[in-house]
Structure 1
Amino acid sequence: SYLAHLTASKGYNSFRYGVYRLLKKLHLFNDNSKGRILRFNNSLKSLLTKEQNIFEGLNIRYFGPFDGHDLPRIIKVLDDIKDMSGPRLLHLRTTKGKGYVPAENDPAVWHAPGCFEPESGERKSESKDPTRTKFQDAMGSTLVELARDNKAIVGITAAMTSGTSMNMMQQEMPQRTFDVGISEGHAVTFAGGLATDGMLPYVAIYSVFLQRAYDNIINDVAVQGLPVTFCIDRAGLVGEDGVTHHGANDLAYMRTVPGMTIASPRDADQLRSLLYTSQLPDRCGPWAIRYPRGYGHDSHKPMQRMTVGRGECLSRGEDVTMLTIGPIAFEAAQGAKLAAAGGVSVAHYDMVFLKPLDDEIMKEVAASGRPIVTVEDGTIDGGLGSAVLEWLAAQGHNLPVVRMGIPDAFVPQGTVEQLRRLCRYDAASIAETIMKLQK
């Protein structure tokens, strides 16, 4: 908005730009005189317009606005200003979806349209499966349901209302839903401020973008032990969005924050119950609930209170113990079945909470003496596997532990299935790892 109303008009900039090039060509403009000329120009312009361009007031040269789709003009401007010393600001105006009429008419929908017919613009609808619900939709609809009864609940997001399904609450309760734009740090600090006055903020941000607000999470929420719930969307491998969007680090970076409760539901039912539990009067401190992009299994069970720090045994076994967190439990269960076909019996536990870790499950696992495999859709450095190793070390247990998850590397683009194979925590790789422990 500020850039759109700058007093540096196109005509003015063209004139000033031409004068600059002429003076430079005549060798009348050099580094020694530039500062004085620039200050004189800014003063004269401010006197005439009775306004001040903040950039030029800071001696930052401003050029624009130009048509961001006029490539020859942009190349010419960049070529002309590249040899200037000091900071420069080039203002380009563009149209999102330029050149494709459906995208120009509805840029929000066409930001991520999925498959579509290029000629007609018709988007291909996904086949509906009543047993599967998008995690983001489960979050959005549940938050609306809870907010109807709990007037303290407010929703906050950072320029991703539709991507996080916070638009569901925005449509029904616009005065209790806030989109702060691409300002993740502000979203978190704003949530902390609301929480100090008795509100229950739910901050829905993609995992990889929440990293930008790490300092705010610690100093503006966690230090005060404020009841802010972070709904961490797009956690784990996200597929075709690529390396810049994988939510690899949230389990690790949240686990180091004192007082933070961290949970990862394996399905939509658990997600709803975690959200329900997080708004109960006896909740303590900040919460982080992380879930992936895409669909989760859903049996449409009613929401119920969950015990903080309590996991669940999914299957009993005699040879190897497998600990998982989040929806990767389903992939891991397939791996356990493949291992069982090879003669290895696997005990499988869904930990649900990374922090606090379930002490009862860990004591049971340690007492069994079986080798342990941990599987998580996140970096293996600092996540569930690391937490299990730390617990065992602190209790004096010496059991073999193999950690499976995203390696210490940046993961490229590909489908989720391809990337799990690449990172070696797909069902086949899990089965292979389990069976090797028995050799």
Structure 2
Amino acid sequence: YIGPVDGHDTDLLIDTLGTVGELKGPTLIHVVTRKGKGYEIAEEKADVWHGAKPFDIASGKFISGKKSHPAYTNVFAETLIELAKEDEKILGVTAAMPDGTGIGKFGKVFPERTFDVGMAEQHGVGYAAALSIEGFKPVVAIYSTFMQRAYDQVAHDVCLMDLPVTFAMDRAGIVGEDGATHQGLYDISFLRTLPNMVIMAPKDENELRHMLKTSINHPGPSSLRYPRGAGLGVELDKEIKELEIGKGEVVKDGADLAIFAFGTMVDPSMKTAGMLEEKGLSVAVINARFAKPIDEDLVLEYARKTGCIVTTEEHAVQGGFGSAVLEALQDIDENIPVKTKCIGVPDIVVEHGAVGLIKKDMKLDSEGMFETILSFVSSESSSTTEGNRDKDSSGNGNKELKSGIKKPITFKQPVNG
């Protein structure tokens, strides 16, 4: 053991590290630092300056950008407070992230019903399980990426016993500037395998309110995933209602292909549908709402109706929402010819960067999905044309859509399928 060492004394640190290099065996160096050292404003409020934004040096006030819509985190916190005023059994649990998750706001209103277990997600989940056994309705507010730390407790302490614990997973999807460790891209995959778990994601901040109530009142474990940042600016319903679990919403009907969008992907999918319709395609957009259980009736309906299903999600493709749809199609007890395409995050480590740029790079924005889907539809059309060439040599390469429209597939620019 060496220390304590002043972490702000560069010369001392260099000497200490040099000495340690000559020692044999494991060595512990105890280095003491102060966050914000040298800037009094930051020293006084270390928690606020954990992830500092642009700020005015003289005043210490953060410089806000353009005015945006309410953040999902704030909508979650305010809704939780609203629901807790009507139900004294609702409790809030956080693992040293009261501000980041919004539980801090809840705690100011209900301090005796708020529990910060420290930086120990495993303990937080186990503690919530015990609270639920005693008849309470614990809401564990946690970042998507940190759910990985508590997987054993989620599986054994909550799902195995089918306990009513709500997991409010903030920062689900691409978080951008927080870097690779914080991208929330795996929760659907590792939670979907657990018996009794319900998985849902809202299309906007208004639906988040309804889903939170749905989750809290569900008699078993449930998880609610939503992104970092501002919502879409939609009007919030005054009355919070429970949704039917496992049922999606047809946002837009169509006859040629159906886009099943999960959570944040509903809005860009609607824009993509508009672009595709300019190409003559009749496109349905379904707000899936649930990744488990998925709405198998809607999947079957649009498999029959369109013969072409595309899934979109802000999550790893492997094992995610798209995989759930493919599994449902596999279990259908009738031979329906249906083409499928799953759009999501590829099998890569997503690094630091602006959210918009990352989505554009991975073709998860509306324009990128338009290119991907149009290329997919075009390739399927070409395959059909090649297969029928011996039967009909007079074909001109046009695709006959289920809506009865005949329109050639053209591209404004090269597309990487």
Q: Same fold (TM over 0.5)?
A: yes
CA displacement 1:314-337 (0-9 Å, x = unmatched)? 111122110111022111111111
Q: 2:252 aligns with which of 299, 315, 327?
A: 315
1:191 to 109, 128, 149: 128
Shift of 1:343: 2.1
The answer to whether the 8 A contact 1:155-1:178 is kept is yes
Matched, 1:286 2:224: no
1:1-400 aligned at under 5 Å gives the runs 62-118=1-57, 120-129=59-68, 132-280=69-217, 283-297=218-232, 298-301=234-237, 302-395=239-332, 397-400=336-339
- CA drift at 1:151: 1.3
Are the counterparts in 2 of residues 296 and 327 from structure 1 also a CA contact under 8 Å?
no
3-state SS of paired residue (2:181): coil
Q: Deviations over 1:356-377 (max 9, x none)?
A: 0012211211211421111100
Q: What does residue 402 of structure 2 align with?
A: none
Query: Aligned letter for 1:256?
Result: T
Which whole-Å deviations, capped at 9, do the CAs of 1:272-307 have from their partners, x for residues lacking one? 111112233xx2310000000011133111211110
Structure 2 partner of 1:408: 347
Conserved? CA contact 1:155–1:202, under 8 Å: yes
How has the CA–CA distance of structure 1 residues 107 and 331 changed in structure 2, closer, same or farther, with 3 Å as cutoff? same
Given that 1:336 and 1:346 are in contact with CA atoms closer than 8 Å, whether structure 2 keeps it comes out as yes
Deviations 1:112-169 (A, max 9, x none): 343323454331234445xx32111111111111112211111011111011111111
Larger-gyration structure (1/2): 1
CA gap of 1:300–1:126, structure 2 versus 1, over 3 A, is farther
Query: What secondary structure, in the 3-state scheme, does the structure 2 residue paired with 1:162 have?
Result: helix
Q: Is the 8 A contact 2:89 2:135 kept in 1?
A: yes
Identical-pair percentage: 39
Residue 83 of structure 1: how far off its partner (Å):
3.9
Contact 2:303 2:336 in 1 (8 A): yes
Mark the CA change 1:397 to 1:157 in structure 2 (over 3 Å): closer, same or farther.
farther
Query: 2:304·2:336 contact (CA, 8 Å) conserved in 1?
Result: no
Instruction: Kindly state the Cα deviation for residue 398 of structure 1 after the two structures are TM-superposed.
Output: 4.4
CA 1:435–1:64: 2 relative to 1, 3 Å:
same
Contact 2:311/2:321 (8 A) holds in 1: yes
Q: In the alignment, residue 290 of structure 1 is paired with which amino acid?
A: R
Query: 2:326 and 2:198 mapped to 1: Cα distance?
Result: 19
CA distance in 2, matches of 1:275, 1:73: 52
For residues 258 and 105 of structure 1, the distance between their equivalents in structure 2, rounded to whole angstroms, comes to: 46
Letter in 2 for 1:212: R
Partners of 1:308 and 1:356 within 8 A in 2: yes
Q: Which amino acid counterpart does residue 402 of structure 1 have in structure 2?
A: K
- Deviation larger for 112-121 or 326-335: 112-121
How big is the shift at 1:387?
Answer: 0.7
- C-alpha distance in structure 1 between counterparts of 2:3 and 2:82, whole Å: 47
Output the amino acid matched with 1:399: V
Structure 1: runs of 5+ lacking an equivalent: 1-61
Change (3 A) 1:199 1:318: same
Measured after TM superposition, the shift of residue 211 of structure 1 is: 0.8
Q: Is the 8 A contact 2:77 2:106 kept in 1?
A: yes
**Are the counterparts in 2 of residues 153 and 199 from structure 1 also a CA contact under 8 Å?**
yes
Give TM-score, length-normalised by structure 1. 0.82
> What's the secondary structure of 1:375's corresponding residue?
strand
Q: Which moved more, 1:110-119 or 1:339-348?
A: 110-119
Name the structure 2 match of 1:421. 360
Tell me how many residue pairs correspond in the alignment.
374
Which whole-Å CA distance do the structure 2 matches of 1:199 and 1:84 have between them?
54
